[in-house]
Structure 1
Amino acid sequence: MEETLDGVIIGSGHNSLACAVHLAAQGWKVGVFERASVAGGAVKTGEYTLPGYSHDWAAMNLSLFAGSAFFKEYGEELGRSGLEFAPASDCFSSVFPDGSWLGVSNDLETTAKRIDAIDADDGKTWRELTAAFPAMAEPLVGLLGSPAKKRAFAYILYKHWRKSGMDGVLDLGRFLMSSPRDWLNETFRSPKVRALLGAWGMHLDFAPDISGGALFPYLEGMANQAFGMVLGKGGAGAAINAMVSTLEARGGSVTLNADVTRILVENGEAKGIELADGRKVMARNAVIANVAPGALLKLAGETGDQRYNDRLKTFSHAPGTMMIHLAVDALPDWSAGEELKDFAYVHLAPEVDQMARTYAQAQAGLLPDEPVIVCGQPTVIDPSRAPDGKHVLWLQVRMVPAVINGDAAGQIEETDWEVVADKYAERVLDILERYAPGTRSKILGRHVVTPLMLEADNPNLVGGDQICGSHHLTQHFMFRPVRGFADGSTPVGNLFHTGAAVWPGAGTGAGPGYLLAQKLAG
């Protein structure tokens, strides 16, 4: 028996759900179909170690979601559907081998005085950057939040020209093309300040020397300084649960354990989808696929546009990620200072050169000798995620290869992730132990997630790439995923593409889904 809807969406990530909510609000009858047993894709929360300990599977930080245009429009409804935020004023920090630390808190003078103690000139620079941030944020946020159209980008640059002149436009362009190292070296004197901010590039795939990467350390540093960080109360999955409830309240639906095997295309136009059990769901207005670019061709077949087909086939993915979820008896005892227990993130990435080496090793298929580690301490901000007095740690290991060719440290001989996982997790814990002795003795439960496990759980995370595709300049802005199709359109009529592989890319801001919904239904 066939079912007919106005819009059919493949995949239940936050972009899919943002798209579905807006379409439903505009009167569409929308159905979301998800192959997994839980909605959310990379944004979900579960008890992966022990009962009562809630861990964020991949994404933890919901600041972009809380500040998004989608949330601005639907935040009230999401709140009625149960979404609550847990704000963090002590946002992120880095620890260093000499026993010191540096961190960004929401209070300007608190942060600036920490930097003053390292380098007074850098403290002055931090205050100046913070003061200038509102003016700088206007064109940057405008670009990142606008449809990927020449006219939209030109209008934003025109407005910036009216305010800042041609020199301002050229300076903005130069900044957007700069690598993290370029900008950090030009802006700060202290290697510690550079490392503190440079670590944010590694959350995407912007190693220190990748052009176009300066934007992200800058935005994360300034936004956390200005607004703090936001987590979801109970876990990042709280946002997904609220979106599903909001969609259902508006007449939409989410069907789980529904594996889509084919997009039905007739005469160059998408008509619906076929599920693994043989069911067909037809679409009056749009079939929307939140899938990795390579998967779109497998579902829909060749599109008739060879340039588009070729580009999807060669779409480049970032190196993989490893996750380690820990249930712990107590927070790490950081050697650098008790204050570190207050921070949402502690970066174990002490040098810009180390970050560059880690990235190069992972790209070469080597297990990095000293991976970049993001230690999330969510229960500091949201105690509801663990039993009283207990905690969870969220360890994100960046970067690691999906296919292992060897070990940069020369210690692990095996190349099969099933064998390597626990051995490499021990290397990560050795590094954590170096900065917080005794952490191993606090572990009550552990769950290691390899890059291949991330992909098996969510095929969009190809090779464990948590951002569904490199954001390097050749694959960003109007080139994401293909020039001429960065607005979610495809060469096939009524078939649309969304998710992190589509402009404006990865993150929890739901931009690709929300922009597409506005394009389709106003």
Structure 2
Amino acid sequence: MRRRVEVLEFISELFSTSHDWLQTAFRSPAIHGLLAPWVLHAGHGPDAATSGFMTALIAVTLELIGMPIPRGGAARLVDGFSKLLCDLGAELHTDASVEQVIVRGGKVAGVRTAQGEFHARRAVICCVTPQQLYLKMLDRAVVPDWVAANASRFRYGRGDMQIHLALSEPPQWPGGDERFLRTAIVHVQTASMESRALSTRPTAACCLPTRRWLSVSRRRSINRARRRAVVSSGSSCRRCRTIRSAMRPARFNPPTELGAQTFENATPIA
């Protein structure tokens, strides 16, 4: 009986929202502001089911492990994995869009691209959407009807947009606090938990939010090996990331929906 209760309690915690978990676990508004934005990096809003579990998981990861970044920029991570795979005997082919996953004798045999066929020894790993795989890449004859029906009902979540800015000097943060200049990621957000929830709800209706959450990234502050942007008019590069906002807004009003207005009570949280 006790074990059954523990399972039910775990399920309840698993499906909790980030908003509820933060208010239950912490009293400090500063901690709320520090942890709340991270769940957006996982594609969840603060009121979404399982977002509470994801916030807790991210918080534990940040505390115990941190946020490792590759020295020299994100491209070095790709280079490292490429070398690892090549050392194991793999061949890497880029600019080769897969047109079809080949199935022979009821087993996956390889893939067909514009460059030709590539044969698999054991399996084919497809990092694509269900619609791409089951409705496009696989022959319809090998896809069960119920699988095709489920794939056709698949709906995409929020999109993601990044804006890279070349600045003539580092940004002037409120109060002149130099700690922001030494911080790799700064979340800019409204002050209250309720405002944070309101800023993400319009995206579910395919609208850009009037209240924004921004993630301002400056990895070079802790990674001097990262390449500086080469620009003619600026010497400082910042990445401004609008996390999980709608990419195709149903209604488009530049003065209010694209951020022409200033933030109301915006508070930078390092």
TM-score bin (small chain): 0.7 to 0.9
Q: Which residue of 2 aligns with 1:343?
A: 183
CA contact 2:183–2:221 (8 Å) conserved in 1? yes
Structure 2 residue matching 1:210: 3-state secondary structure: coil
Counterpart of 1:397 (choices 242, 251, 257) is: 242
Q: Which residue of 2 aligns with 1:230?
A: 68
Deviation string, structure 1 residues 17-76 (Cα, Å, up to 9, x no partner): xxxxxxxxxxxxxxxxxxxxxxxxxxxxxxxxxxxxxxxxxxxxxxxxxxxxxxxxxxxx
Structure 2 residue matching 1:214: 3-state secondary structure: helix
Q: Which residue of 2 aligns with 1:376?
A: 217
Map 1:164-313 to 2 at 5 A.
168-277=6-115, 279-297=116-134, 298-302=136-140, 303-313=142-152
Q: Which residue of 1 aligns with 2:251?
A: 406
Q: Which residue of 2 aligns with 1:354?
A: 195
Deviation of 1:334 (Å): 1.4
Distance 1:360 1:319, change over 3 A: same
CA contact 1:334–1:435 (8 Å) conserved in 2? no
Q: AA paired with 1:393? A: R
Q: AA paired with 1:241? A: D
- Rounded Cα–Cα distance in structure 1 between residues aligned with 2:5 and 2:125: 41
Deviation of 1:324 (Å): 0.7
Structure 2 residue matching 1:327: 3-state secondary structure: strand
- Rounded Cα–Cα distance in structure 1 between residues aligned with 2:6 and 2:167: 50
Structure 2 residue matching 1:194: 3-state secondary structure: helix
Deviation of 1:359 (Å): 2.1
- Rounded Cα–Cα distance in structure 2 between residues aligned with 1:250 and 1:399: 36
- Rounded Cα–Cα distance in structure 2 between residues aligned with 1:257 and 1:236: 19
CA contact 2:210–2:256 (8 Å) conserved in 1? no
Distance 1:288 1:225, change over 3 A: closer
Deviation of 1:312 (Å): 2.2
- Rounded Cα–Cα distance in structure 1 between residues aligned with 2:101 and 2:149: 19
CA contact 1:207–1:355 (8 Å) conserved in 2? no
- Rounded Cα–Cα distance in structure 1 between residues aligned with 2:53 and 2:170: 32
Deviation string, structure 1 residues 126-160 (Cα, Å, up to 9, x no partner): xxxxxxxxxxxxxxxxxxxxxxxxxxxxxxxxxxx
- Please provide the CA RMSD for this pair: 2.8
Structure 2 residue matching 1:311: 3-state secondary structure: helix
Matched pairs, number: 258
Higher helix share: 1
- Rounded Cα–Cα distance in structure 2 between residues aligned with 1:352 and 1:180: 10
Deviation of 1:408 (Å): 6.9
Stretch deviating more after TM superposition (297-306 or 369-378): 297-306
Deviation of 1:375 (Å): 0.8
Deviation of 1:245 (Å): 1.1
- Rounded Cα–Cα distance in structure 2 between residues aligned with 1:390 and 1:366: 34
Q: AA paired with 2:186? A: V
Map 1:135-150 to 2 at 5 A.
none
Structure 1 gaps, min length 5:
1-160, 413-423, 437-522
- Rounded Cα–Cα distance in structure 1 between residues aligned with 2:172 and 2:93: 44
CA contact 1:179–1:212 (8 Å) conserved in 2? yes
TM-score normalised over the length of structure 1 = 0.45
Deviation of 1:176 (Å): 0.9
Deviation of 1:293 (Å): 1.4
Distance 1:222 1:174, change over 3 A: same
- Rounded Cα–Cα distance in structure 2 between residues aligned with 1:358 and 1:220: 21
Distance 1:287 1:387, change over 3 A: closer
Deviation of 1:435 (Å): 6.5
Distance 1:271 1:252, change over 3 A: same
Deviation of 1:168 (Å): 4.8
Structure 2 residue matching 1:383: 3-state secondary structure: coil
**Residue 171 of structure 2 corresponds to residue 328 of structure 1:** no
- Rounded Cα–Cα distance in structure 2 between residues aligned with 1:205 and 1:250: 33
Map 1:407-446 to 2 at 5 A.
407=252, 411=256, 424=258, 427=260, 431=263
CA contact 1:362–1:368 (8 Å) conserved in 2? yes
Deviation of 1:290 (Å): 1.7
Q: AA paired with 1:205? A: G
Distance 1:361 1:409, change over 3 A: farther
CA contact 1:379–1:392 (8 Å) conserved in 2? no
Q: AA paired with 1:345? A: I
Deviation of 1:344 (Å): 1.8
- Rounded Cα–Cα distance in structure 2 between residues aligned with 1:387 and 1:197: 29
Counterpart of 2:158 (choices 310, 319, 328) is: 319
- Rounded Cα–Cα distance in structure 2 between residues aligned with 1:382 and 1:397: 23
Q: AA paired with 1:212? A: T
Deviation of 1:193 (Å): 2.3
Structure 2 residue matching 1:284: 3-state secondary structure: coil
